[in-house]
Amino acid sequence: MQYNGVLNVLKPTGMTSHDVVNRIRKITSQKKVGHTGTLDPDVAGVLPICLGKGTKISNFLMEGNKKYLCKCHLGLLTDTYDIYGKVLKKEDFYTNINKIKNALDILKDKKTQKPPIYSAIKHKGKKLYEYARKNQKIEIKEKKIEILSIELINYTDSKIYLKAEVSKGTYMRSLCYDLGRLLNTYGTMGDLIRVESKGLNILDSFTLEELEEKSYQNKLNNCIIPIEKALKLPSIKISAEDSRKILNGIFLELETEPIEEPFYIFSEKNLLGFGEFRQGKLKMKKRLC
């Protein structure tokens, strides 16, 4: 059976995103499987997995905002900016909630961020962590980010518990590092859980074990989110006759006003693909049927 759509997978710690993809390939018995942005092996949480024709929307799903629950250790610095790295500096540190809240207010206004050296971002064709492993120093450029919200949940024993919503490409490790600097100490990320990605929530996710059981029961389809529900976009509906034309590459003249991309083209209840307007005419941009 060919599966098409998106799985909301709860990635456990200790697995790479590629490991999860391989497990899903075995569960579904199909090769066309891909994830929508990596999670580090030590990070758990929502990892959207695209199946079949669902892989054609993976780039759109990657662009979405992410929500995290995060623990930040104050007074601790490692080379990776998380607790799994080599300890570089450590000190006893105490502060109060008001100072933390003030620092978070400042942090929320940040529009750029310097990624950690231990990351997969490329510089001159090589990933940053490749330079780090060889102790090669390079200049890391800051990237544009957006912190939509960052909220203090608790503070105890020099550990800050945070809830944050951030844009694509924002590193929570770097946020913890920056938070430490704002508090005149060091900041290192501890436990991290991604609780939402592009509207897919952890409360609706499935473990790999649950998906294996569903597959054994021939109920895996019940877990797969249809493309149009996983990625909600505006749409244009056309007739069955026009659908045959547009699928054959013919441009359609419609009374409908052009709408902003991306958008779906439907014929009756069938999703045909992504559309675009050229000189006021409707054209199929990417076929999904």
Residues with catalytic roles: 40
The secondary structure of 221-254 as a DSSP string is: GGGPBPHHHHS---EEEE-HHHHHHHHTT--B--
Whole-number Å distance between alpha carbons of 136 and 210: 44
Q: What are the CA-CA distances from residue 227 to residues 27, 66, 285 (Å)?
A: 20, 19, 16
DSSP code at position 206: B
Answer for the pair 15, 41: CB distance below 8 angstroms, yes or no: yes
Whole-number Å distance between alpha carbons of 46 and 51: 16
The tokens describing 190, both together, are: 């501890």
Tell me which residue has tokens 């069955």.
Answer: 240
Beta strands in 12-102 (DSSP E): 33-35, 44-51, 66-74, 76-78, 87-90
